[in-house]
Chain A
Amino acid sequence: MSTDSTPALLKSAPGVDSARTDGPAPAGPSARGPRSRSTTAYLRYAAGKLAGAAISLFAVLVTSFFLFRLIPGDPVKQMTGGRQVSTEQIAAMRREFGLDLPLWQQFTEYCGKALTGDFGTSYQFRAPVMDKISEALPATLLLTGTAFVIYTVIGIWLGARSAWRNGSFGDRFNTAFALTLYSVPSFWLGLLLIITLSVGIGPIPGIFPTGGMESGDASGFGYVLDVAHHLVLPVVTLVAVEYARTLLVMRSSLLDEMGSDYLTTARAKGLRDDLVRRRHAVPNAMLPTVTLLFVNLGNTVAGAILVETVFSWPGLGGLFYQALSVPDLPLVQALFFVFAAAVILMNTLADVIYPLLDPRVGR
């Protein structure tokens, strides 16, 4: 869309109807004038955003340490609860986890190590937490990433169409359908899909696996198909529940553009309705959607804990839940940091990209 959308973006700037050389320098030819100045301005803007992100990351690092120590419950008590353990064993575990040290000492050690990327060893799994995270990350990215792509495409597409035909039966049906799915609890929808499409009911045969990411006995291309087969129901669940948000944002921002003069101009030129929508209206309405898109993208890392649980997907959501229930401090800290970092990075990326999409931003 890049080549196509640029002119549309330039045309956009609703409210800024003439190309003034000073002032908030909207768009159009004027932006081309003081190119070097605007490049420096952009770099300064980007650097500011990046510095902000770095500060946020550090704040997250510190927060993650203290936040999870507020959770009631002693990891050692929780892990040994209901088991045959001696007092010596409990003391040994405390020593091993460093829980016998004063808090400030635990904190400095944590920070020092975390800065080098070492988040310590999981209490319950006795493995480096980064290993546990990288073990579960691909599964999560596969699930939420696939769902993200699909619900973004569907959401934007249906949203644009709904807005364009707003008030029509199609619009109302579409919005109502999306909102209905949006308000359905994902685990419930997941279970319904399992009962109907995995187990099968009446004439509907069960064609999808009930859970997990793989059967465990396929290899090569068969493995890819096997995983794809397991991926269908969880992705459908996620898409069904999530696409409404993109749809609604897209719909309302396109509605804002609907009365704009530049659309009348475009129509006056004799452009086909579809083209007016695709080339002129949609690109201008994309900004809020892009924001949402990046927020969603940042959240994909955190996984979808309910859907992962219902479909027994071996991802980060489930790992986070297990870590919290102990609480497995090194693991929750690292996961919290990774989740927050993903959101921060994506937001920063969005901030950095905005001025390229809309020259009004960042001046």
Chain B
Amino acid sequence: MVTRVPPRSPRPRRGVRFLLTSGAAALALAAGSVVPGNPLAPAPQEAQADDGDKTTLTVAVAQSVDSLSPFLAQRLISTSIHRLMYDYLTNYDAKDNQAIPALATEWKPSADKLTWTYTIRSDSKWSDGRKATAEDAAWTFNKMMTDEAAATSNGSFVGNFKKVTAPTPERLVIELKEPQATMAALDVPIVPRHVWEKVGDFSKFNNDQKFPVVGNGPFILTEYKVDSYVKLKANKDFWRGSPKFDEIVFRYYKDQDAAVAALRKGEVSFVAGSPSLTPAQSASLKTAENIKVNDAPGRRFYALATNPGARTKDGTRFGDGHPALLDQRVRQALFMAVDRRTIIDRVFQGHAVEGEGYIPPRFKEYFWTPSAGQKLSYDPAKAAALLDEAGYRKNGAGKRVGKDGKPLDLRILCHATDPNDKAIGKYLQEWWGDLGIGLKVNCLDNVSDPWYAGEYDLAFDGWSVNPDPDFVLSIHTCAALPAKPKESAATDNFICDKQYDELYAKQLAEYDPAKRADLVKQMESRLYDTGYMNVMAYPNAVEAYRTDQIKSITTMPSAAGNIYGQDGYWSWWSAVPAAGASSGSSDEGGSSTGVLIGIGVAVVVLAGGGLLFAMRRRSTAEDRE
């Protein structure tokens, strides 16, 4: 039967069969049916529905936990979880960010301002039944003061502490080296002494082996699986009252689009985005059913920083900042040529507020706006005049040149990971180009090296501000400058201004809130005038949640504020489950259809396989003839 053999004369039927085979393979691939077992798999989640009426709030997160030890944790995800696990001495009112009682019910300074006495509440219990006392707090602070490893995350809070004692279980006494106005803003989780004194090496203990973890916050950590989920259950005995949800789960979605998809599906109740949902994502979610987009005033400022001439504490100059920027008029002219309105409308697509003072408006007490006379409004003509006055005139080619005849060409440091930096960089090139100034936008994955080395002219800068502004103010003092050139230091932008420093020292020693706020505003005013650091925008925090799972949730500030990463536990503690949110609903909707479809796909594939097999048998049979 020689004629049958040569492959070069395939009979049409064979071609069809081959095509079928390929098609089946392609179909199998596309239908995702190549792995056995999938049709049945929705079952386990469905099974959970029988667990009673447990309500679960699922939050999509992306950032990996660095450590669950409050002594080591540095990342937002970890410190947010610690807020839920442990009570701090004080908390911040969701309404207006004022310090309010937490583990401490009262705090008072001594007449000489150097001793603070805290009254510790008597109704806070650790989850293992023991009472939380002043001794736990004293032990926590003392550990941070004596063990370098325990100071890793919060050491800066105890830097000015001389002695911490607990004369009675209800009284905590902190003695200071210098007066410090921030004593109602000690964001340090207080841990149970009887558990933590057994820990040997604090630099290696991550608090993630034994569950549930003993705590006294509104939630108790019950389970943690690296990069998969973190689970906490409600602390029914929490002194402020039990949370309304029975369980909160932080589930990992490393890709923000995937997290948004999970929200649409109902797999998660809440998505924050890191740091925010993109304009496109929020636009698409706004029209989705049962989803509320929370376009909240953020806690960040987004600023244009100019290199004031990098130097060390003792005045040694280093780096290569452009000398023209040492002239205040040049710095102010540059900022006056920045059209903040366009940045808000085009780059942030409306999800930001135009910049004014250093501290964002959500912190009302400290929010400052420049007076009409001092405001550096967008005014290219005035900017050009200022530059002329400073001696940078346009040459024949339309370029501004200095007295030395060199054209004014600047560089700006941009974070390659931040699309806003890149977009605004383009605008700056255009606006400053019109003024006759050249700009090179230098986008890097890692800006910290040139930054610390002072090798930049301008930079995109931004910080997240705390209810107590001390830290973001401290990073512009002369004391924050590095000891040696290029060494890392607390300074943000090498600013060292005598007037600013004097005001800083005064506010830190001012225990009267109103007077202190006034001093802080004076600092902001001074900073604004120097032109070293001008805020372009306060970006919003855009986040979204499912209204069919969360009925209500407290934002911070409560009138209009954010949900994720609050300075307190208000959002998760206050969240009220929606009627349909009882167990399972936070997972898959329509799983039973899923099972049916899955089975359907499996049947189709099996049938296809069977058909192929049958055809094969037939041809084999022919071959045997």
Residues of A within 8 A of B (CB): 71-74, 76-90, 92-93, 96, 121, 124-127, 135-136, 146, 150, 154, 157-158, 161, 164-165, 168-171, 173-174, 177, 181, 187, 191, 193-195, 197-200, 205-218, 222-226, 228-233, 235-236, 239-240, 243, 267, 270-274, 276, 308-312, 314, 318, 322, 325
Chain A: CB-nearest residue to B74:
A83
Q: Cβ of B401 < 8 Å from any Cβ of A?
A: no
The answer to whether A236 and B34 have CB atoms under 8 Å apart is: yes
Nearest CB of B to A249, in Å: 17
Please measure, in the bound complex, the distance between the C-alpha atom of A195 and the C-alpha atom of B255, giving whole angstroms. 13
Cβ contacts under 8 Å, A318 to chain B: 227, 254
Q: Which residue of A lies closest to B479 (CB)?
A: A87
Is B446 positioned at the interface, with any CB of A under 8 Å from its CB?
yes
Known: A77-B448, A177-B26. A222 touches B43 (CB 8 A): yes
Q: Please determine whether B25 and A73 come into contact, CB atoms closer than 8 angstroms.
A: no
Give the complex CA separation of A170 and B159 in angstroms: 74
B25 pairs with A154, CB closer than 8 A: yes
- Can you show 19 pairs from A to B with CB atoms below 8 A apart? A73-B448, A78-B448, A85-B156, A87-B482, A87-B483, A92-B152, A125-B206, A157-B25, A168-B10, A207-B597, A209-B267, A211-B255, A216-B225, A216-B228, A217-B45, A228-B35, A229-B44, A235-B35, A318-B254
Given contacts A154-B29, A216-B225, 9 further A-B contacts (CB under 8 A): A72-B445, A74-B488, A76-B488, A82-B463, A96-B203, A136-B227, A208-B594, A225-B37, A230-B41
Q: Which residues of B contact A79 (CB under 8 A)?
A: 74
Number of A-B pairs whose CB atoms are under 8 Å?
A: 267
Cα distance A205–B489 when bound, in Å?
54
Q: Which residues of B contact A (CB under 8 A)?
A: 1, 4-7, 10, 14-15, 18-19, 21-22, 25-26, 29-30, 32, 34-38, 40-45, 47-48, 64, 66-67, 69, 72, 74, 148-149, 151-152, 155-156, 159, 203-204, 206, 223, 225-229, 231, 249, 251-255, 257-259, 261-262, 264-265, 267, 444-446, 448-449, 452, 463-464, 471, 482-483, 488-490, 587-588, 590, 593-595, 597-598, 619-620, 623
Residues of A within 8 A of B64 (CB): 125, 322
Contact A205–B38 (Cβ < 8 Å): no
Are the C-beta atoms of A191 and B265 separated by less than 8 Å?
no
CB contacts (< 8 Å) of B267 on chain A: these are 209-210
Partner of B152, one of A89, A193, A214, A231: A89
Given A210-B262, A210-B265, A233-B32: A272 in contact with B42 (beta carbons within 8 A): no
Return the contact of B19 from the options A76, A154, A169, A314 (Cβ within 8 A): A169
CA distance A212 to B529 in the complex (A): 50
A206-B594, A229-B41 known; A88 vs B7 contact (CB < 8 Å): no
Are A311 and B258 CB-contacts (below 8 A) given A85-B155, A164-B7? yes
B26 to chain A, nearest CB (A): 6
Cα distance A252–B490 in the bound complex, in angstroms: 61
Q: How far is A78 from B449 in the complex, measured between Cα atoms in Å?
A: 9
Say whether A86 contacts B252, CB under 8 Å: no
User: What is the chain B residue whose CB lies nearest that of A310?
Assistant: B255
Closest chain A residue to B73, Cβ basis: A126
- Give the residue of A93, A205, A217 whose beta carbon is less than 8 angstroms from that of B597: A205
- Which one, B155, B226, B259, contacts A314 given CB within 8 A? B226
Tell whether, in the assembled complex, residue B48 and residue A125 are in contact, meaning their CB atoms are under 8 Å apart. no
Contact: A87 with B597, CB < 8 Å?
Answer: no
* A173 contact from B14, B19, B252, B623, Cβ within 8 A: B19
In the A-B complex, the 3 residue pairs with the smallest Cβ-Cβ separation, listed nearest first, are A229-B41, A218-B44, A207-B594
Per DSSP, are chain B's interface residues mostly helix, strand or loop, or mixed? Answer: mixed
Q: Within the assembled complex, what's the spacing in Å between the Cα atoms of A86 and B152?
A: 10
A77 with B265: CB separation less than 8 A:
no
Which of chain A's residues have a CB closer than 8 A to the CB of B25?
154, 157-158
- Could you tell me the distance between the alpha carbons of A72 and B442 in the complex, rounded to whole angstroms? 14
Of B37, B69, B253, B488, the residue contacting A80 (CB under 8 A) is B488
Say whether, besides A169-B19, A226-B45, A272-B623, A199 and B35 are in contact (CB < 8 Å). no
**A174→B74 CA distance, assembly (Å):** 52
Are B249 and A216 closer than 8 Å at their CB atoms? yes
Say whether B7 contacts A126, CB under 8 Å: no
> Complex Cα distance A165/B10, Å?
8
Chain B residues with Cβ under 8 A from A135's Cβ? 226
Cβ of B393 to closest chain A Cβ, rounded Å = 38
Tell me the smallest distance from the CB of A212 to a CB of chain B, in Å: 6
Question: Is the Cβ of B22 less than 8 Å from the Cβ of A86?
Answer: no
Q: Which residues of A contact B229 (CB under 8 A)?
A: 212, 216
Residues of A within 8 A of B488 (CB): 74, 76-77, 80, 90
Q: What are the residues of chain B within 8 A of A236 when measuring CB–CB? A: 29-30, 32, 34-35
Task: Name which residue of chain A comes closest to B444, CB basis.
Answer: A72
Q: Kindly list chain A residues whose C-beta atoms are within 8 Å of the C-beta of B48.
A: 217
Measured between beta carbons, the chain B residues less than 8 angstroms from A240 are 29-30
- Distance in angstroms from B582 CB to nearest chain A CB is 14
Closest chain B residue to A308, Cβ basis: B254
Please report the C-alpha to C-alpha distance between residue A177 and residue B30 in the assembled complex, in whole angstroms.
11
User: Would A225 and B43 be within 8 Å (CB), given that A74-B488, A207-B597 are in contact?
Assistant: yes
Chain A residues with CB under 8 A of B67: 125-126
A208 in contact with B464 given A85-B490, A191-B258, A309-B255 (CB within 8 Å):
no
In the complex, are the beta carbons of B204 and A127 less than 8 A apart?
Answer: yes
Q: A93 contacts which chain B residues (CB < 8 A)? A: 152
